[in-house]
Amino acid sequence: MIIVFIQTAFITNEPTNKAELGKMLFSDPILSKDYTVSCATCHIPERAFADTGAVSFGVKHAKGKRNTPSSMNMRFTKVFFWDGRAATLEQQALMPIEDPSEMNLPIEKAVQRLRKHKKYNSYFKKIFNSEPTAAHLGEAIAAFERTQETSESPFDVWKFYDEPKAVPESAKRGFDVFSTKGKCTVCHFGSDFTRSDFKNIGLFNGKALNDSGRAGITKLADDIGSFKTPGLRNIAITAPYMHNGMFKTLEEVIDFYNDAPGKVPDAINRDTTLAKPLGLTDQEKSDLKAFLESLTDKRFQR
């Protein structure tokens, strides 16, 4: 009886399209081996669909390998996961289900569960005109993720709707630091503040920092220590930061970028943009933080 309750706990109103079905599946632990973990377990809605720990924990408290990034603002993203191992959002949606450290359920078994589930089987038939399949499962979750776009932050109101009082003066100064002395726009630009590519910011030294990142997929020496450039929307509420969650606050992140060689002097393959300290003053660092905080969408404003 307990399992039956868990399987149906998140099923409320009948979904009418792929995105609504995907939203339902995103929060349902039916897709994990022991019915204890869902996508929303690690991608917490209130935290802009990120997590609160350095790494997340899956079924039977299995420890993850990397920090859980936000799953929001994926509509225009071209690479997925820190190492880019998924080429499409549909592929990305399925991989955590099978990952032993996450949901640990083979996709074929997940599909079997959905086919045996009276309501889910009915929903897939109505929306996809077929019983659940792996491809349709990925489509549904990806469709939901594509609805999670944010574009109504104080920064947006100031910059694109010409409301000068939408952000404090410190955030305006911080945007200038971001765009000039801070060199942030080398990697973070566009609507979501990301190039959707890979950069080595100097968090690999083959010792304490030994996650090779993109190189684990490409097997190329030049990619050692490179990771996906994350978008910055809602960054103030998605701590901790970096692929390993090593920085707990935005202040720590800014301090690292201000003097990357000083923080990790033996980094391998560090991008030349960060070869020398930026020389930001305390005021400039404070202003830069204010700008980053202005990227928090209104739905998350406290």
pLDDT in tens, 65-120: 999 999 999 999 999 999 999 999 999 999 999 999 999 999 999 999 999 999 99
Residues 160 and 284 in one domain: yes
Can you give the pLDDT at residue 281?
98
Residues 135 and 37 in one domain: yes
pLDDT at 291 over 80: yes
What does the alpha-carbon distance between residue 123 and residue 52 come to, in Å, rounded to a whole number? 33
Read off the amino acid at residue 78.
K
Mean pLDDT over 37-62 rounds to 97
What does the alpha-carbon distance between residue 37 and residue 42 come to, in Å, rounded to a whole number? 8
Tokens of 280: 């930001």
What does the alpha-carbon distance between residue 195 and residue 179 come to, in Å, rounded to a whole number? 15
Mean pLDDT over 235-245 rounds to 98
Residues 38 and 99 in one domain: yes
Residues 178 and 103 in one domain: no
Contacts (Cβ under 8 Å, ≥6 apart) of 84: 198, 214, 217, 228
Mean pLDDT over 196-202 rounds to 96
Mean pLDDT over 249-272 rounds to 98
Rama region for 136: left / alpha / beta (φ>0; ψ in -120 to 50; rest):
alpha
Domain of 252, CATH number, reads: 1.10.760.10
Residues 131 and 212 in one domain: no
CA nearest neighbour of 102 among 71, 138, 67, 63: 63
Per-residue confidence at 301, pLDDT binned at 50, 70, 90? confident
Domain end marker among 106, 127, 146 = 146
Instruction: Supply the DSSP string of 30-71, one letter for each residue.
Output: GGSTTS---HHHHSBGGGTTB-SSSS-B-GGGPBPSS-----
Per-residue confidence at 196, pLDDT binned at 50, 70, 90? confident
Residues 132 and 166 in one domain: no
Residues 140-181 pLDDT 10s = 999 999 999 999 999 999 999 999 999 999 999 999 999 999
- Residue 56: HSE in the Cβ half-sphere, 13 Å Cα cutoff: 26
DSSP 247: B
CA nearest neighbour of 255 among 286, 215, 231: 286
What does the alpha-carbon distance between residue 4 and residue 118 come to, in Å, rounded to a whole number? 12
Mean pLDDT over 114-133 rounds to 98
Domain that holds residue 208: 154-300
Residues 119 and 99 in one domain: yes
Residues 290 and 176 in one domain: yes
When divided into structural domains, the chain yields a total of 2
Can you give the pLDDT at residue 189?
93
Mean pLDDT over 48-56 rounds to 97
Can you give the pLDDT at residue 7?
39
Q: Where are the beta strands (DSSP E) in the chain?
A: 198-199, 227-228
Which residue's entry shows tokens 């920085």?
247
Average pLDDT, the chain: 95
Cβ atoms < 10 Å from Cβ of 182: 23
Domain end marker among 146, 164, 189 = 146
Residues 245 and 276 in one domain: yes
Per-residue confidence at 12, pLDDT binned at 50, 70, 90? low
pLDDT at 9 over 50: no
Residues 135 and 167 in one domain: no
Residues 132 and 163 in one domain: no
